[in-house]
Amino acid sequence: MRQSHQLPLVGLLLFSLIPSQLCEICEVSEENYIRLKPLLNTMNQSKYTRGTSSSANVLLSLQLVGIQNQNLKQKLIQQIKYTVKMRLSQVSSGELALIILALGACRNPDENLIYDYHLIDKLENKFQAEIENMEAHNGNPLTNYYQLSLDVLALCLFNGTYSTTKVVNYFTPENKNYYFGSQFSVDTGAMAVLALTCVKRSLINGQVKTDESNLKNISIYIKSLVEKILSEKKENGLVGNTFSTGEAMQALFVSSDYYHENDWNCQQTLNTVLTEISQGAFSTPTAAAQVLPALMGKTFLDVNKDSSCVSAAGNFSNSTHEPVTVTTPGSQSSISVNYSVTINETYSANVTVPNGSVFLDVMEKAQKMNDTIFGFTMEERSWGPYITSVQGLWASNNDRTYWELLSGGIPLSQGVGSYVVHDGENLEVRWSKY
Ligand code: CBY
C-alpha cells in the first residue's frame, strides 16, 4: 500500500481510539461483572452484628448499583432499624447521613423510616453540633470533614435545611480539615466535591435561593478540590490510594466540566482497581462497599433519582454461595516482629505471633506481656477496630491527635484489624497530630 493510502487508515485507527479516552463515566462492562464478585462475597459474608457501622455503607452501595440480594438487604435494614431505635444518640453525624442515604436510595419502601423517625431533623441537629464544636475548638469538628460532607450531601439530597452561606464559609479548599498533616485527604476532598456539586445543582435549579456570590464560590471550590484530587493521581491510575480511588472516581464523574479530558484516564484507573480486586485488596465490607458504585458508573448523587435503581447487574449476586478463598493462617508456624509504642520515648518489644496474624494480634500479645506499657483500648468503626488509647493516652478530635500506625517508619494504609504482619517487620504505634 502506498503511503497516501495508509494515511486515512491511520486517521481512522486513531479516531477509533479516542472515545475510550473521552469517557466521563467509565464503568465495568457486563462481561466483566464476574470480576466484581469478590466485592459481593465480602459484603455477603460479613456478620453485621448489632450496631455495626458498616451496614449503612453496604446497603447504600447495593441499592445504588441495583443488586437484588433481598436476604442481605433485609439483614442490613434490620441492623439499621435497631441502630435508629436504640442508639441514635451515639451515632455520629456522618453515620446518620449514610443511614439516610441508604434508606432513601432509589424509591424503596424503607424510605418511610426516614420520616417516621424524623431522621432529617436529627441530622440537622448533629450537623449543627459539628459547627458549634468548630466554633468552640479552633475549627475542629466533632468528627471530620468527610462526615461533614456526608451531612451536607444528605441534607441537600433530602431537602433538609442548611445554610448555603455556612457551607461556603466552612468548605473553602484551604481549610485544614481537608488535610492530615501536610497530606491532602483524597477521600475527604472527593466527598466534599459530591456535596458541593449537590448544593450547586439545587442553587441552579432554583430549589434553594441564595445570592450569586455563593454559587460562584462553590464553583471555584469544586474546581480547586478537583485539581487537588487529580494531583494525587498515581502512575498506575489510582487516585490517593487503593481505598480512596472509588470515591475519587465518583467525584471526577460529577465534575467533568472542571478538568480537561486528558487530565484523567478513567479506563486506566478502572483497570487498576479491577486488578486490586483480584488481589484481594478490598477485604472489609466497607472497603468493598465504597468502591463498588463507581465501578458501575454510579455516584452518591444518583441516590434521589426517581428511578428504582434496577440494573443489568440485578441478579448477578444470587449465586454467591460458591467457595471463597479465606486467607487462613498458613501452617502453625510463628513469626516474630518488633513492636514499639512511641510517645516521646520509644518502648519496644519482640513479639511472636502465628503466621498470618494482623497488627491487632501483635498489640494484644504485647499487652499480655506488659499491660502498663502496651495496654490499649479500641472501638469498632466502619473500617474495623480503631485504636483510641495506648498507655492511657487518648486520641482527641478536638486536639487533632491520634495513634498512627507505621511499618518500618512508613504509615500504613490499613487499620489494625486488616493489616497482615510479616516476619521481622518493625511495627509502631506513634502518638501523632494530623
Ligand atoms: N468515615 C470517617 O469518619 C473516616 C473518614 C476518613 C477520611 C476515612 C479514612 C476515609 C473513608 N473513606 O472513610 C478518615 N480515615 C479519617 C477522618 C481519619 C481520622 C479519624 C479521626 C477523626 N477526626 O475523625 C484520623 C485520625 C486522621 C485517621 N483517619 C486515622 C487513621 C489511622 C487509624 C489508626 C488507629 N488509631 O487505629 C490509619 C490506620 C492510618 C495510619 N497509618 O495510622 C487510617 N486512618 C487509615 C488507614 C484509613 C483508611 C482505611 C483503609 C483500610 N483499608 O482500612 C481510610 C479509608 C480511612 C478510614 N483511614 Co483514617 C483512608 C484511606 O486510606 N483511603 C465516616 C464514617 C461514617 O464511617
Q: Distance between CA atoms of 197 and 219, rounded to whole angstroms? A: 8
Beta carbons of 156 and 195 less than 8 angstroms apart: yes
Say whether both 340 and 296 belong to one domain: no
Say whether both 292 and 250 belong to one domain: yes
pLDDT tens, residue by residue, 214-268: 999 999 999 999 999 999 999 999 999 999 999 999 999 999 999 999 999 999 9
- Residue whose CA is at the smallest distance from ligand 1 atom 26: 402
Q: Which domain range does residue 116 map to? A: 30-302
* Element (DSSP H or E) covering residue 63: helix 55-65
ipTM: 0.99
Atom of ligand 1 nearest to the CA of 54: 68
Say whether both 342 and 280 belong to one domain: no
pLDDT given at position 51 = 65
Say whether both 70 and 181 belong to one domain: yes
pLDDT given at position 316 = 61
Q: Is 429 in the pocket of ligand 1 (CB under 6 A)?
A: no
pLDDT given at position 49 = 75
Cell numbers at residue 102, please? Answer: 441508604
How many Cβ atoms sit within 10 Å of the Cβ of residue 46? 20
Residue 14 lies in a domain: no
**What CATH number has the domain bearing residue 377?**
2.170.130.30
Better-predicted residue by pLDDT, 321 or 417: 417
- Residue whose CA is at the smallest distance from ligand 1 atom 14: 146
Q: Distance between CA atoms of 162 and 141, rounded to whole angstroms? A: 16
Bridge pairing between strands 426-433 and 401-407: antiparallel
Say whether both 214 and 166 belong to one domain: yes
Q: Which residue positions form the known binding site for cyanocob(III)alamin?
A: 143-147, 187, 241, 290, 386-387, 403-405, 412, 434
Residue 309 lies in a domain: no
CA 260 to chain centre: 25
Residue 262 lies in a domain: yes
Residue 340, phi then psi, degrees to nearest 5: -130, 150
Residue 340 lies in a domain: yes
Q: Which of 285, 302, 319 is the last residue of a domain?
A: 302
Alpha-helical segments (H) within 87-185: 93-104, 112-116, 119-136, 145-157, 164-170
Say whether both 170 and 250 belong to one domain: yes
Report whether pLDDT(389) > 50. Answer: yes
Residue 40 lies in a domain: yes
Confidence of residue 47 (pLDDT cuts 50, 70, 90): confident
In the numeric block, the cell 437484588 is attached to 68
Residue 17 lies in a domain: no
- Residue whose CA is at the smallest distance from ligand 1 atom 34: 404
CA distances from 258 to 24, 221, 254 (A): 11, 11, 9
CA distances from 267 to 27, 28, 214, 246, 274 (A): 8, 9, 34, 13, 11
At a CB cut-off of 8 Å and minimum separation 6, what does 70 contact? none
* Element (DSSP H or E) covering residue 338: strand 334-342
Cell numbers at residue 249, please? Answer: 472516581
pLDDT tens, residue by residue, 332-387: 799 999 999 999 999 999 999 999 999 999 999 999 999 999 999 999 999 999 99
Say whether both 244 and 356 belong to one domain: no
pLDDT given at position 246 = 98
Q: Which residue positions form the known binding site?
A: 143-147, 187, 241, 290, 386-387, 403-405, 412, 434
Residues pairing with 402 in the sheet: 432
pLDDT given at position 68 = 87
CA angle 297, 303, 308 (to 5 degrees): 90
* Element (DSSP H or E) covering residue 227: helix 212-230
Better-predicted residue by pLDDT, 45 or 430: 430
Say whether both 143 and 84 belong to one domain: yes
Residue 254 lies in a domain: yes
CA 276 to chain centre: 16
**What CATH number has the domain bearing residue 36?**
1.50.10.20
What would the mean pLDDT of 97-107 be, rounded to a whole number? 93
Say whether both 402 and 274 belong to one domain: no
Number of domains present in the structure of the chain: 2
Residue 403 lies in a domain: yes
User: What does pLDDT average to over the chain?
Assistant: 90
In the numeric block, the cell 450531601 is attached to 153
Report whether pLDDT(19) > 60. Answer: no
Q: Which amino acid is at 168?
A: V
Say whether both 293 and 406 belong to one domain: no
pTM for the predicted model, two decimal places: 0.92
Say whether both 286 and 164 belong to one domain: yes
- Residue whose CA is at the smallest distance from ligand 1 atom 53: 414
Residue whose CB lies within 8 A of the most ligand 1 atoms, among 80, 229, 249, 402, for a mutation test = 402
Say whether both 127 and 251 belong to one domain: yes
